[in-house]
Structure 1
Amino acid sequence: MDFVKTVLVTGGAGFIGSHFVCSLVNRHPTWRIINLDNLDYCSNLRSLEAVEDRGNYTFIRGDICNPRLVNHIFATENINIVFHFAAQTHVETSFIWPSRYHQTNVEGTQVLLKSAFEARVEKFIYVSTDEVYGESLDKEFDESSPRRPNNPYSVSKAAAECLVLSYWERHMFPVIITRSNNVYGPRQYLEKVIPKFLSLLQLNKKCTIQGTSPQSRHFLFVDDAVEAFHTILARGEVGEIYNIGTDFEISIVQLARQLIQMVRHIPHTELDDWLEFVPDRPMVDLRYPLNCQKLRRLGWKPAVSWKEGIRRTVTSPCLTSPPTTILVTMRFRCAAGLLVR
């Protein structure tokens, strides 16, 4: 079969990437979807079982930091569009191994950009994070707000953004950057806050809360994030940055209480008995409010309510019966003091 387009998705075995790859494969049967992933600890090919036998899907195991591999893919696969999800994303670990985050998130992005530019792809979409803005207690961040990253992870993502934009400014290479709120949903790896709380509760353990500062987050259901990427692919303007966010905001303490009630069915008066406060990490941003009007003008808005999204997440089989290997990894990380974003 001759495919109309070929899309390369990096990090397509990760949480958001796998949801997006499955959506692309199903929505565009005449497009070839190539998933490049090095299968790091947070990747899971089981998330792609629904499409692994489809004729328009190809998986390549490999590292974006490997220029020989990346150059070969662009030289032989006729790539039209790149969605760059691949990254190291765990904030706590970034304080311990910042060089690893720089290598993957910055140097890996440079390798990918160089090959994509030389191959003259028609669109390069870089998936960034709201954390590049730093925190705000009142004002919403729009896309023109300055970057003020406060941890090694967000610093590496901000640096990668600068690389991406430099290709637009110097070469008019057609790039787009996205910055999203916290994305959640089924099949998310257990180091992130919602699946970690759920897994702890399933193990009859307390939810661990970092520090005593009033942290809150805006949570966006993964299906809404996927739809945002489709909207940006279809109607986004090159050279632009798009916030992907939601108005729904909840404190981490209240999030824990709600999950405790949903999973353990604990009376309201006993919820706090299931909270354990632990030492904070070196730098914590309290909140990341986003102004998403630019993306909404393209026709996108969140469609899944928090009530529905968290219900679907809590009842997900992947979270109800997590693999033993993942639970062992989670226990090791908790014992090592690597707490969750």
Structure 2
Amino acid sequence: MQLKGFISKHFDLKTGDICNPRLVNHIFATENIDIVFHFAAQTHVETSFVWPSRYHMVNVEGTRVLLKAAFEAKVEKFIYISTDEVYGESLYKELDETSPRRPNNPYSVSKATAECLVLSYRERHKFPVIITRSNNVYGPRQYLEKVIYHYQCTIQGTSPQSHHFLYVDDAIEAFHTILERGMVGETYNIGTDFHHSTNGRISIIQLARELKMVRHVPDAEQDDWLEFVPDRPVVDLRYPVNCEKLWRLGWKPAVSWAEGIIRTVKWYQENPEFWPDVKAEDQPITFEPDTRDQ
């Protein structure tokens, strides 16, 4: 995670491996921690097919280590950041928090498994846990593999994928709302309901075209801007989540896709030093949308 620009007197940053129980236990023993937001994860879906064991280790074993330490430290709340991908694909029916989990790739399988661990602490120990399942989050300071400002984007496969995209500021407000008003033991979908496309979705190809227009890609570079590559083994076309449960707590997204993508591109234009060691031509964008963790 890039933390440049985040460090201040209000933060005590400690870096390390979430799978290292000695480190995690030491942090809980020496710091006065009362709330845990568990964002740490391996998240890139395509890579999860190549190294599934790595995803299991970080997302499942890392969650076990953190859960155990937080439970022993008697924290007030443990909020686990999951993903809408645990539901699996749904072409028509909206997915609410009671919908069954049907993960279809090693990444989402590992996140669903971690959810089971979290819920087991709730059932067995009455541990105060909350689970969130978010749409794809985008915005400034995002990893190169996600939907960001850079030189080229590749479109995986030809299937008609469409997704909801949630601007990072809206995601932060959602997490704050859940911290303040969320009920212990509950799960909350976090998503947006406004794009100009059907039911709040935007297709991946349309997203790429709009990003091209926001970036003012010259006509002479059109052929270089989009590149179609083979699809990954399993593709979920869409995850239409229902977020009314969270809306009833008083949160709704405020930043539209049209506004959010302009903000995102502008930020990258104004902060070229954010990736000082990476050449644009070496890191094309891949529109393999992924939820989560900035």
TM-score (norm: length of structure 1): 0.78
State the SS of the aligned residue for 1:68.
Answer: helix
In structure 1, runs of 5+ residues without a counterpart are 1-42, 202-206
Give CA-to-partner distance per residue, 1:115-163, whole Å, 9 cap, x none: 1111111100000000000011111110000110011000000000000
In structure 2, runs of 5+ residues without a counterpart are 196-200, 290-294
| CA distance, structure 1, for counterparts of residue 287 and residue 211 of structure 2 | 18
* RMSD across aligned positions (CA): 2.2
State the SS of the aligned residue for 1:208.
Answer: strand
Instruction: Output aligned runs, 1:25-44, within 5 Å.
Output: 43-44=1-2
Map of 1:9 onto structure 2: none
Instruction: Output aligned runs, 1:165-244, within 5 Å.
Output: 165-192=119-146, 194-195=147-148, 198-201=149-152, 207-244=153-190
CA contact (8 A) 1:187 1:319 kept: no
CA contact (8 A) 1:95 1:151 kept: yes
Map of 1:255 onto structure 2: 207
State the SS of the aligned residue for 1:116.
Answer: helix
Which of 243, 268, 276 pairs up with 1:317? 268
Map of 1:108 onto structure 2: 62
Map of 1:74 onto structure 2: 28
* Amino acid aligned to 1:306: W
Higher relative contact order (CA 8 A, sep 6+): 2
* Amino acid aligned to 1:59: L
Map of 1:286 onto structure 2: 237
* Amino acid aligned to 1:302: P
Map of 2:292 onto structure 1: none
CA contact (8 A) 1:314 1:320 kept: no
Give CA-to-partner distance per residue, 1:294-332, whole Å, 9 cap, x none: 00000000011111111100101367625242347x837
| CA distance, structure 2, for counterparts of residue 265 and residue 339 of structure 1 | 17
| CA distance, structure 2, for counterparts of residue 85 and residue 318 of structure 1 | 27
Q: How many residue pairs were aligned?
A: 282
The 1:339–1:215 alpha-carbon spacing in structure 2 relative to 1, beyond 3 Å, is closer
The 1:128–1:326 alpha-carbon spacing in structure 2 relative to 1, beyond 3 Å, is farther
How much identity, in percent, do the aligned residues show?
Answer: 71
| CA distance, structure 2, for counterparts of residue 317 and residue 273 of structure 1 | 20
The 1:218–1:339 alpha-carbon spacing in structure 2 relative to 1, beyond 3 Å, is closer
Which of 94, 101, 106 pairs up with 1:152? 106
Shift of 1:61: 1.3
| CA distance, structure 2, for counterparts of residue 318 and residue 118 of structure 1 | 45
The 1:274–1:323 alpha-carbon spacing in structure 2 relative to 1, beyond 3 Å, is closer
